[in-house]
Structure 1
Amino acid sequence: MIMDASLILHEMGKRARASAAVLAQASSAKKNEALRAMAAALRAHKDDILEANGRDMRGGEENGLGQAMLERLKLTEQRVEDMAVGIEEVAALPDPIGQTVRGYVNSDGLEIAQVRVPLGVIGVIYESRPNVTADTAALCLKSGNAVILRGGSEAMDSSRVIVSALIEAVSSAGLPEGCIQLLDVPGHEATTALMRLDDLDVLIPRGGRGLKKAVREHCTVPCIMTGDGVCHTYIAASADPQMCVPIVINAKTQRPSACNAMETLLIHKDAAPKVLPAVANALVAHGVELRGDAAAREIFADMEPAADEDWGTEHLDLILSVKIVNSLDEALAHIARWGTGHSESILTTDYAEAEKFLDRVDAAAVYVNASTRFTDGGVFGLGAEIGISTQKLHARGPMGIEQLTSTKYKIRGSGQIRR
């Protein structure tokens, strides 16, 4: 299988590289035409997409897929419409390609301009969510990149129909079909082969720790890690009790399967007696299973004891770890030990404490008095996103079209030589 996958990917890589060369020179109007056609194709093929997704859902249930994963997998008419609208929103964004990042004339009279260019060929490996197929294809096309998609096996029927519709639309707009390709070969060997494909300029994995571990072990091309979300909310001693309940409930329950959902609640010891009972009761009413340390369980008994592994687990489900801390410094130390650099929040009315949290926490997104659920490309004005980068090279945080570009320098002279 590894040989077959490698041969298939070799041909896919050649098509992608040729298509990327065309796409890099495509006008904004041509790319936007293709994007609008992609949105229309999703609407036109809605019934086919939902039928395929129904097969994936039945397969997931038969294979014992967890509720959180099934929620990520499921498509509805509204979610298909949201996918189409998301593509149209990407079309409406300014084209980053050719934008001048900075320009100047140096002491030799050279006109130097740093301009945005596509990365080239992007490989994306992702799990469960079929909407990622459409979002990723749109973002890559708008930023002038060809993309090879590798969706999870649990969503393959959905991804197959979605990609077919998108390719049909891209071709109708006069762009190469190789701009968007789906690696439709079963088995981990095919995924590993993609990680080693020389024609990739960058690989972006979107998934859990198992996928990230495999990428670290097998990937031979540059990659941008998008993050696990062990996200924290810290309720400080000065926090407004009226603010705590709605923010905590939103951060944990609004979409628990999302990577920006809260996984651990930290509470200052002075706030805990007055805040924890109300917060915990509200969480339990929303179906959340609480796992607390000894101090938290003394205040609210309806909790399971938290084990060490709970502090570092991204449950992606209605499970929450709760810990009482003695100070802001202890909260910061806990986040530094167990956080994944995704999204962290403090609830406080103390300005100095808020600024210290903003400065000291090492994460892609750091909040004061707000839910971690806001970490999202659309919310941040980037349109759809390809993922939340938790690394520090090239891009960090929500990755929109600008983060899918590199730069080059254009230098114009009038006969200068270096002496």
Structure 2
Amino acid sequence: MTVIKEWNVEEQAIQAKKAAKTLSLLTTEEKNEALITLADVLDAEYETILEANKKDLENGREKGFDAAFMDRLSLSKERVQDFAQGLRDVAELEDPTGIVKSDWTLDNELNVQQVTVPLGVIGMIYEARPNVTVDATGLALKSGNAIVLKGGSSAIHSNKQIVEVMHRGLEKTKIPKEAVQFIDSTDREATQQLFTMKEHIDVLIPRGGGKLIQAVVNNATVPVLETGVGNCHIYIDAEADVEKALAILVNAKTDRPAVCNAVETAIIHKDWLEANKDALIKTLNDNNIAVHGDETAVRVIPGSVPAGEDDWANEYLSTDIAVKTVDDVAQAIQHIEDYGTKHSEAIVTENKNTADLFMNLVDAAAIYHNASTRFTDGGALGFGAEIGISTQKLHARGPMGLPALTTIKYKMSGNGQIR
């Protein structure tokens, strides 16, 4: 891969825009063949990717990155195979472009079609997860979009090598390698340039921590598909089944604590807590879950520490959890309104009316009844790989798969009509 330095970010965007024109004309079969080729090349060259990843991990240890961050940064043969398989899975999905959403003919015999088309060029700004480099590329190419990738400095070596491997793969396909651009710079100025290139970039998608996302949202002149941090809650109602509640809580907190759909706050009805405190305490201890609780939780749960205001808004990304006790579902809903990030929220209850009230009133991209928040994921919901989880309300919301990377175009056909 020819490395293009930071001062040529605009040139990279221009190349991506030209490549997007070619990409938009390819057939579904040609795009699918390219994705399978990329997967095969990643599988074949995984060792070079792991060698590059070692440099990032070494730098991370020197900088004292925490365990959760290092987990997101770390690659293995299995993880490379997983995101290669993700490309094959995307190839199996329906092509989201060229779909006629509506078709009608006016009184003057002018035919009107509303058709799905690619967005064009996607600018992807993300942090420590090298798998995003592959996931985002696969979704972009399948939906007919070129992509400009700007990964975080912590994964610079891994991302560079992954893109080099994918470029070698693209040279064997109908997709020009210029459709996948990687900004080889750790300077923030390179990111700032992406923010303002409206003439070349059609949409920006930030994926990472709250500071990164807000920096993009607050400074970009390019339209932003906003993804959100996950301060997710589980409300355990007075009428919650004990076995379900504890299993869901453990899964949502400990399956992968460092991901955005992990639960960060358990809101517990005071009557349920009093009746089931022994089972809850044992479950927390058995799973090494550390509690930051309100006054009632600290009194009931041994070893818990008092929660401050920051704890209710904190995305721990660890096995720590905040515990809030409430008198009823209304208080639970209000707490989520005050501190939630509109990502994923859950209620555990056997009362359907209470569940319906919660699911209708809580404002979030994903709402669960008697299920773990860990299902807010493109793969888990059958979308294939996801490019991010949108917490906004315009265009796309929740896990963003292929359809979120398209827009519409009106195509009109006539026989000389004038107005």
Decide: shared fold, TM above 0.5. Answer: yes
Q: Distance in 2 between matches of 1:279 and 1:163?
A: 47
| Contact 2:237/2:329, CA 8 A, preserved across alignment | yes
SS at match of 2:234: strand
User: Which aligned pairs between 1:63-142 and structure 2 lie closer than 5 A?
Assistant: 63-142=63-142
Q: Distance in 2 between matches of 1:397 and 1:242?
A: 28
> What count of residue pairs does the alignment treat as equivalent?
415
Q: Distance in 1 between matches of 2:128 and 2:55?
A: 13
Letter in 2 for 1:122: I
Identity rate of aligned residues, in percent? 45
| Contact 1:9/1:197, CA 8 A, preserved across alignment | no
Q: Distance in 2 between matches of 1:222 and 1:249?
A: 38
Structure 1 residue aligned with 2:404: 403
Q: Distance in 2 between matches of 1:202 and 1:49?
A: 29
Q: Identify which range, 247-256 or 69-78, moves more after superposition.
A: 69-78
For each residue in 1:221-273, what CA deviation from the matched residue of structure 2 results, as whole angstroms up to 9, or x when unmatched? Answer: 10011110000000001100111111100000000011000000001111111
Q: Distance in 2 between matches of 1:280 and 1:251?
A: 17
How far the C-alpha of 1:53 sits from its partner, in A, is 1.0
SS at match of 1:103: strand
User: Which aligned pairs between 1:285-324 and structure 2 lie closer than 5 A?
Assistant: 285-324=286-325
* CA RMSD after TM alignment: 1.3
For each residue in 1:110-157, what CA deviation from the matched residue of structure 2 results, as whole angstroms up to 9, or x when unmatched? Answer: 221111000000000111110110000000000000000011111111
How far the C-alpha of 1:417 sits from its partner, in A, is 3.2
Q: Is the counterpart of residue 31 in structure 1 residue 31 in structure 2?
A: yes
Q: Distance in 2 between matches of 1:66 and 1:172?
A: 40
For each residue in 1:342-399, what CA deviation from the matched residue of structure 2 results, as whole angstroms up to 9, or x when unmatched? Answer: 0000000001111111111110000000000000111111110000000011100000
SS at match of 1:356: helix
Structure 1 residue aligned with 2:156: 156
How far the C-alpha of 1:193 sits from its partner, in A, is 1.5
SS at match of 2:171: helix
How far the C-alpha of 1:414 sits from its partner, in A, is 3.0
SS at match of 1:233: strand
Structure 1 residue aligned with 2:256: 255
User: Which aligned pairs between 1:301-380 and structure 2 lie closer than 5 A?
Assistant: 301-380=302-381
Q: Is the counterpart of residue 43 in structure 1 residue 43 in structure 2?
A: yes
What TM-score does the superposition give when structure 1 sets the normalisation length?
Answer: 0.97
SS at match of 2:271: coil
Q: Distance in 1 between matches of 2:118 and 2:140?
A: 9
Q: Distance in 2 between matches of 1:85 and 1:47?
A: 16
| Contact 2:126/2:152, CA 8 A, preserved across alignment | yes
Q: Distance in 2 between matches of 1:279 and 1:160?
A: 46
Letter in 2 for 1:95: D
For each residue in 1:178-220, what CA deviation from the matched residue of structure 2 results, as whole angstroms up to 9, or x when unmatched? Answer: 1111111122121112222231100000011110221133211
Structure 2 residue aligned with 1:206: 207
How far the C-alpha of 1:96 sits from its partner, in A, is 1.1
| Contact 1:16/1:148, CA 8 A, preserved across alignment | yes
Q: Distance in 1 between matches of 2:45 and 2:412?
A: 47
Gaps of 5+ in 2: none
Aligned pair in 2 of structure 1 residues 272, 15: CA closer, same or farther (>3 Å)?
A: same
Q: Distance in 2 between matches of 1:293 and 1:416?
A: 70
Structure 2 residue aligned with 1:392: 393
Q: Distance in 2 between matches of 1:63 and 1:82?
A: 28
Runs of 4+ aligned residues of structure 1 deviating over 4 Å after TM superposition are none
